[in-house]
Amino acid sequence: MRVSQEIRVIDLLARREAEFLRVNECEEQIRALLGGSDFPFPPPPVVLPSDGRTNAKKAWRPQGLVVPKTPAKKPGRRDAAATPPVQPDTSCLVPPLLASNENAYLVHYQEKDKEGTSFLDTPTQVQALLELACESFRVTKVEAVQFHSLDEYQPTRTIWEPPAPQE
């Protein structure tokens, strides 16, 4: 697992724990309103992934391992006409990282009244956050960084900042 994926998993697990704490606080307030007696809380409306057992981890495979493919049949005229050529994604306006000294994006954001940062590794993820239309979340700055660990990183350049307000 890459460092950026590990960071994202930790962030999501922390958010998950915070939501469970909010549910517990709500249930405790309901119990207090009912004089300490338990309310018959219904089960969650969906089966939570954490309720089931997880499968054993997949076997580790080194990156770059080439698995031989089965020979594909040559496409006929009908097959070639049915599949349009793949167009490259040009909708992403976030510039790619410089391979020499940048390996992550540092996104500064404001979520409700809290400010925070998060590391991302692909420009499409950053672009998706910039395009997010949400009242309680907004990106305040994006920087390219040379990432070593959560406590050790060096910003190299500013990728995006909101436009200055016009007077």
- The letter for the amino acid at 119 is F
Give the integer Cα–Cα distance in Å for 136 and 106.
20
Percent of the chain with pLDDT over 70: 68
pLDDT tens-digit readout, 5-43: 888 888 898 888 888 888 888 888 888 888 877 777 666
Q: What integer is the mean pLDDT of 69-83?
A: 53
Whole-number average pLDDT of the chain: 76
- The letter for the amino acid at 70 is T
The CA R_g of the chain, rounded to the nearest whole Å, is: 23
Closest CA to 97 of 142, 134, 132: 142
